[in-house]
Structure 1
Amino acid sequence: MSEISRRRLITGMSATAAGAALSLAGGRFASAAARDRAIAVTAARAVRTEGTTLEQVATATGTGAYKRLAAGPGWPLVVRSDLAGARTGRDDRRTGLACFVQFTDMHLVDSESPVRFEYLARYLDSAHRPHETLTVRGAASLVERVNSLPGGPYTGRPFSMVVNTGDIADNHEHIELDWYLTVMSGGTVTPNSGDPTRYEGVQNSGDAAYWNPETSFQDAYKAKGFPEVPGFLTDAGRPFTAPGLRVPWYSTIGNHDDSIEGTLPDLGLLGSLYTGDRKVEGCDDADAAKLADALRHDPAAAAVLLTELLAGGGVVRQVTPDPRRQPFTPTEFAQAHLDPAYTGAGPTGHGFTSDAVSSGRLYYTFPISDGVLGVSLDTTNRAGWADGSIGTAQLDWLENVLQSHSSHWYDTDGHVVRGGHGNQLIVLFSHHTSGTMGNLLPDPYHPFEQRHDGNTLVTLLQRYPNVVAWVNGHTHTNQIIAHAHAVPERAFWEVNTASHVDYPQHARIIEITDNGDGTLSLFTTLIESAAQYTTDFHDTSDAGLASLYRELSYNDPYATPAQKTGTAADHNTELLLARPGS
């Protein structure tokens, strides 16, 4: 059989071997044999699979409560024809148009900060994670992975950039932002605050509610199999050199980058608590329940309760004050990206300009490749709460961008409108997803501006055929949604990727191709950090800690790894859609 015929056969097989191998219940592979057949087809279609989850995936082993990780079988490509049919022979016709990487939800944590709510973990799973002292090392290991890859597994194109879709910091502190910018640009970073010679957080408190890794004290985590790791906290906070990305990178702001713990509006009232010397390590169940409820429903009451706990209502320890814990504002977020010390592989500002600093408008456009435009949105709402929305000014700006880069679009009545100065494919990036943009509270900094939800944004995007994808984070879950439309060219894909703080700690490669048959394909491939899967509880080297970061995240008793990992249809996919104008 000729090479061309073989490739055509493989392309035709892919929809059946990979797609039909899915069970009807939730998009999981029906059997190991079906998975293996799909893996073989995947390997044949790809340029390369090495270093991605197409090759191998961290897999839990053992029967105890605490699971060790090992290398498991890769995840095959799943062809999704929800929005357009998969035509045979497209592998031989396809032309690569773009290739980039998405990071999201790094949550670089100042684990010693006084404004943390670790004692609420049983009510709010994100309040404390046993691996949070390692977030900076985990992020550096992810950068190392991207640097090791030559390009996209299906086009072979080098990455044109990395786009980080928000929640860069965990508690919008200047020190967390500095850590992020250093990890992305490269340089020496010390993931420790307060006293640089020691750890001053809850994990050496002797409180049984927390994992105390450096001692034999039998806490609740060790009862679940967590190990004793001598030197863990000391070594987690020591300086190390981050390699920095070798490709340009851009940042999008998330709710944890502009509010207290991603939930409470920051009106400047708690700044002195951030930089002070008192940290709450615990409180009784009644106070914890009240504070957890207030964080969800009553920000003002939450601030009062936190102040009361610091005044003697909780277990309080003295910590070393640190002015670097001061929260940054959205304007300072943009300004920090313009610091020449953090230019790295560029571009200057990483999407933000001096105009963004002066105006406070943290949304912008940028070139992904020839003919493909990126649009970064600011979906945060400074009124607080985790979910987002966008204001009218940004919505109008977005529509102007879409019109200026489209040869035609549809008005609100469904009629075609001709115009624009270009005909570029458009990829949107935001922190929030279409389903998590229901926070319509007035922005306290623009109280008279109307806010708009995710449904409004989807409706707008479907009027512009050049929009092919909306890439986002926030949910910490892998999920790919097809936004269908009766007019095929008005459909688009929403690609939501899991976080890099909760397991499975994924990033995603996205490649766009023209199939030469009236369709486009978006190939989405998940990648893990460069850390090895196996861990050694006596190895607290940089590499050893990066491996522990992944394994500890899997075993976090408040986490839901299976749910956040998603199904096969949310992992490594080929997402087909009609090419605009076809």
Structure 2
Amino acid sequence: MPCDRSILTTTDRTIRRGRVERTGNAQEYYSLRYASGEAHIVRTDLGGRRTGSLGRSLGYIAHVTDVQLLDVQSPARLEAVHELGDRPDVGPLLPMWRPQELLAAHATDALVRTLNAARISPLTGASLDLALTTGDNVDNMQWNEVQAYLGLLSGGPVSMDSGGTAYEGVQDGAVTWAWDPERADSAWALDHGFPPVPGLVEAGLRRFTAAGFDVPWLTCYGNHDGLVQGRTRITAELAKIMIGERKVYGFPAGELGDFVRDPLPLFSGPARAVDASEDRRPVERPEFVRAHFDEGGLPDGHGFTKKNLDTGTAYYAYDGISGVRIIVLDTTNPGGHYEGSIDETQLAWLQRRLSEVHGGSDDRLVVIASHHPRSSMTNTLPVPPGHADAGRRVLGDELAATLERFPNVVAWVSGHTHRHHVRPWRHAKGGFWEITTGSVMEWPSQARLLEIVENDDETLSLVSTIVDHSAPVTPEGIDTPDGLAAWHRELAANSPYSVGGVDAGGEPTDRNVELVLADPRVRGR
């Protein structure tokens, strides 16, 4: 099957920070440039192959994560914490504002269109089977955010404007701790070297039509999908704030307190009036699941099952690729906090789903997917009594030890850290690869293609290829989704606020890599 080589991946060329365009008081502002591509590096941490070429493709998946699509005008956001600088009590809340955040929808649309065009593997000629998200699809568990995210991934109208007739967010020049794109002489622009981009906010709020994936796509539940600001559980008081008309721009004097356990004091500071909107209402887990069925795309429910509808759970097994089972976990702790864990009921369910495809007549390879990677599953915060997930929390290393009992597990795919990272997990029966992909919201705003290849020497190769969206490397305007996606990438590359940090792209061994391991099905036969 011919491959469309007009679509370039990072094996052909990469995007890097280029020359310094402006020097601010606190940092320099860089343009971006194209650089040489990165060939696939063969990693033999878990074994090597003896043949000189790759074999037959068993599955070809696009991985997109941490879009954090957000309503920038929402009263339930606390961007004002950036006014407080680097105080120790502020750190766990940051970042709550980024200069590129309004344009995350446009960057996602550009990435989806690029993946659609790159759907034929240049390595094997295989067609893309599906796309997989691993959570933090939205930022603040709001209904309007969920509707926009569903439109982005399946195609249709997308609008990020929830306010009144005028913009009601923090980038209007009224505060000194946020970037106002209309002015070159604002305090924030002078500190960080950001250029004026007149009309950017208005353009970012404008409704547009997203292309949507040409292939089936699966979803996953992240901490921002199920917690206010990804940190604290919803309450009646917070729900009232979310749909209300009071947006905080400052805080009472003194320490902030514990936002996870008692967030209400942070919403009691000075505020401005904004238009109220019922479309901002909170979406709890059962409704999040149900919305994926109402959307109507493929597959029905986007991985979620009728049992998920009946029980309100958000973990499932997907068998749409022959010979491969994808098991998607829900690692969000309903008790709060941004790190992850699962409950014991989910662990028992996982063991049953793994047992079904190990040995016997239905021997399949298994890919585990979750929002949190193993290293971020450290959350022991209790779930409130009476909640379906109440009880002991299962952490990352215990989960990994469970997976060791099932050698057909070849990969654990995740997001959350906003960094590309690939590392081996060795055990007595072989091992699996932990594959974490960086966020769309933050630099470098990329996706990962992952192809499972069966070689003819009783080994498997998991081939990872990083993809940049095909919007121009230099922003050329604000009148098209690609123009806004280009601005998103350049602003993200210069943002001083990033979960993943300036090196979120990781090392070459975290990006374009061939990950070799013994074929566990051979041992079974």
* Structure 1 length-normalised TM: 0.83
Counterpart of 1:55 in structure 2: which amino acid? D
Q: Determine if the alignment matches structure 1 residue 327 to structure 2 residue 300.
A: no
Give matches, 1:328-343, under 5 Å.
328-339=283-294, 342-343=295-296
Aligned to 2:268: 308
1:357 counterpart (309, 316, 338) = 309
Contact 2:7 2:117 in 1 (8 A): no
Aligned to 2:439: 499
Q: 1:376 to 1:348 in 2, by over 3 A?
A: same
Counterpart of 1:251 in structure 2: which amino acid? T
Contact 1:232 1:540 in 2 (8 A): no
1:78 counterpart (31, 34, 41) = 41
1:69 counterpart (24, 32, 48) = 32
1:200 counterpart (163, 168, 178) = 168
Aligned to 2:60: 99
Deviation at 1:58, TM superposition (A): 1.5
Aligned to 1:233: 201
Q: 1:443 to 1:306 in 2, by over 3 A?
A: same
Identity %: 37
Deviation at 1:86, TM superposition (A): 3.3
1:435 counterpart (375, 395, 412) = 375
SS in 2 for 1:455: helix
Q: Unaligned stretches of 5+ in structure 2?
A: 23-27, 86-90
Counterpart of 2:424 in structure 1: which amino acid? A
In the alignment of these two chains, the number of paired residues is 503
SS in 2 for 1:176: helix
Give matches, 1:95-494, under 5 Å.
95-121=56-82, 122=85, 123=91, 124-195=93-164, 197-283=165-251, 287=254, 290-291=255-256, 294-295=258-259, 298-300=260-262, 302-303=263-264, 305-309=265-269, 314=270, 316-339=271-294, 342-344=295-297, 346-407=298-359, 420-444=360-384, 445-446=387-388, 448-488=390-430, 491-494=431-434
Contact 1:363 1:377 in 2 (8 A): yes
Contact 2:51 2:457 in 1 (8 A): no
Contact 2:407 2:429 in 1 (8 A): no
SS in 2 for 1:382: coil
Aligned to 1:549: 488
Between the aligned partners of 1:72 and 1:551, the Cα distance in structure 2 is 15
Between the aligned partners of 2:51 and 2:151, the Cα distance in structure 1 is 46
Between the aligned partners of 1:487 and 1:392, the Cα distance in structure 2 is 24
Counterpart of 1:324 in structure 2: which amino acid? D
Larger deviation, residues 271-280 vs 562-571: 562-571
Between the aligned partners of 1:147 and 1:109, the Cα distance in structure 2 is 24
Q: 1:47 to 1:111 in 2, by over 3 A?
A: closer
Between the aligned partners of 2:140 and 2:81, the Cα distance in structure 1 is 15
Which string of whole-angstrom CA distances, capped at 9 and with x for unpartnered residues, describes residues 506-528 of structure 1?
11100001111121000011112
Q: Unaligned stretches of 5+ in structure 1?
A: 1-45, 408-419
SS in 2 for 1:235: helix
Between the aligned partners of 1:452 and 1:149, the Cα distance in structure 2 is 38
Between the aligned partners of 1:163 and 1:222, the Cα distance in structure 2 is 40
Contact 1:377 1:428 in 2 (8 A): yes
Runs of 4+ in 1 over 6 A off after TM superposition: none
Contact 1:207 1:219 in 2 (8 A): no
Larger Rg belongs to:
1
Aligned to 2:448: 508
Between the aligned partners of 2:248 and 2:185, the Cα distance in structure 1 is 21
Between the aligned partners of 1:167 and 1:211, the Cα distance in structure 2 is 24
Between the aligned partners of 1:541 and 1:217, the Cα distance in structure 2 is 26
Between the aligned partners of 2:4 and 2:515, the Cα distance in structure 1 is 18
SS in 1 for 2:150: helix
Between the aligned partners of 1:98 and 1:405, the Cα distance in structure 2 is 16
Larger deviation, residues 561-570 vs 165-174: 561-570
Deviation at 1:563, TM superposition (A): 2.5
Contact 2:334 2:383 in 1 (8 A): yes
Aligned to 1:51: 8
Counterpart of 1:276 in structure 2: which amino acid? G
Deviation at 1:222, TM superposition (A): 3.5
Deviation at 1:47, TM superposition (A): 9.6
Could you say what the CA RMSD is over the residues aligned between the two structures, in angstroms? 1.8
Q: 1:399 to 1:421 in 2, by over 3 A?
A: farther
Deviation at 1:49, TM superposition (A): 8.9
Contact 1:211 1:222 in 2 (8 A): no
Between the aligned partners of 1:181 and 1:232, the Cα distance in structure 2 is 24
Contact 1:266 1:382 in 2 (8 A): no
Deviation at 1:572, TM superposition (A): 0.6
Aligned to 1:29: none
Aligned to 2:25: none
Give matches, 1:8-47, under 5 Å.
none
Q: 1:49 to 1:385 in 2, by over 3 A?
A: farther
Between the aligned partners of 2:59 and 2:140, the Cα distance in structure 1 is 34
Contact 1:554 1:561 in 2 (8 A): no
Which string of whole-angstrom CA distances, capped at 9 and with x for unpartnered residues, describes residues 61-87 of structure 1?
113411111211112211100000232
Q: 1:95 to 1:427 in 2, by over 3 A?
A: same
SS in 1 for 2:487: helix
Q: 1:187 to 1:435 in 2, by over 3 A?
A: same
Contact 1:338 1:353 in 2 (8 A): no
Which string of whole-angstrom CA distances, capped at 9 and with x for unpartnered residues, describes residues 383-409 of structure 1?
0000111111111111011111110xx
Counterpart of 2:497 in structure 1: which amino acid? Y
* Structure 2 length-normalised TM: 0.92
Counterpart of 1:52 in structure 2: which amino acid? T
Q: 1:101 to 1:111 in 2, by over 3 A?
A: same
Deviation at 1:354, TM superposition (A): 3.4
SS in 1 for 2:132: strand
Q: Which has the higher relative contact order, 1 or 2, with Cα contacts under 8 A spaced 6 or more apart?
A: 2
Deviation at 1:481, TM superposition (A): 1.3
Deviation at 1:207, TM superposition (A): 1.4
Counterpart of 2:428 in structure 1: which amino acid? A
Between the aligned partners of 2:502 and 2:390, the Cα distance in structure 1 is 42
